[in-house]
Amino acid sequence: MNSPKPIDRRRFLSGAVQAASLLALAGCDSLSQSDWFPSLMGNTEKLTKKAQRALSSKRAMAREYTEADRSVVFPANGNSNPENPDYQAMVTKGFADWRLEIGGLVEKPASFSLAELRQMSSRTQTTRHDCVEGWSAIATWTGVKLGDLLEHVQPKPEARFIVFYCADPDEDGQKYYESVDFDEAYHPQTILAYGMNGQALPVAHGAPIRLRVERQLGYKQAKYVMKIEAVESLDAIGDGKGGYWEDQGYEWYAGI
């Protein structure tokens, strides 16, 4: 029996992923309102997560580009200026009083000012952001590796996920949040970015920091991150699906 060559499997996989993305072209909002989408996505998710994890090692890197490849226009999407008064007060003060809290199932809960994060060793990467609404854009991101921060706070053995809580509530007051597993959290390209294209991260793109988890789709790239928590289960957070869009039917493992 001939087993399929890796390249064939990869082509098959990318076909499956593209089919899923095409279905998603209509955009986050309209899709979340259709009944069939979540269940269909559920099956696709099983396929892609299994297939992708089988094909790519835990350490597989997302493609990196050069600064010359940067998009001239990088759209700001979703929330681009949270109305939350606490957030607006922080903007006014240039985030001088902002602190990133890291807690939950960790040995040493800690908080970091923006200045402290900027003093830590940093990583800069030029990558492509893919939104399920059907657009992509390339930018250079600079930030601190999430893995370095986790080494400071030391997740407890029972912790399985890292959750990111954002500043922006929607019309119903529901907050944007996201989550990743530990493979993704300690991946070398997983950073909390405070810089974009060599400048301070603009409000429209998630100031003061936003997650860059480069092997995953746009909605995983949480902007306006205020608090991080290590947890054992995602069940009790939001509707229990691991993220704001996941709670509305999108796949949690949003690999590209």
Ligand X SMILES: Nc1nc2c(c(=O)[nH]1)N[C@H]1C(S)=C(S)[C@@H](COP(=O)(O)O)O[C@H]1N2
Residues 56-75 touching ligand X, rule: CB under 6 A, are 75
Residues 215-244 touching ligand X, rule: CB under 6 A, are 218-219, 221-224
Q: Which is nearer to ligand X, 205 or 215 (CB)?
A: 205
Residues 207-226 touching Mo ion, rule: CB under 5 A, are 218-219
Of these partners, Mo ion, ligand X, none, which one is at the site of residue 205 (CB under 5 to 8 Å by kind)? ligand X
Question: Quick one: tokens of 9?
Answer: 């499997």
CB of 219 to Mo ion, least distance (A): 5
Residues 125-154 touching Mo ion, rule: CB under 5 A, are 131
Of these partners, ligand X, Mo ion, none, which one is at the site of residue 75 (CB under 5 to 8 Å by kind)? ligand X
Q: Which residue has the tokens 């940093």?
A: 122
Buried b (16+ CB within 10 A) or exposed e, 212-251: bbbbbbbbbbbbbbbbbbbbeebeebbeebbbbbbbbbbb
CB of 244 to ligand X, least distance (A): 7
61 neighbors 189 (Cβ within 8 angstroms): yes
Q: What DSSP line would sit under 111-139, residue for residue? A: EEEHHHHHHS--EEEEEEEEETTTEEEEE
Residues that bind ligand X (CB under 6 A): 28, 75-80, 131, 166, 168, 176, 205, 218-219, 221-224
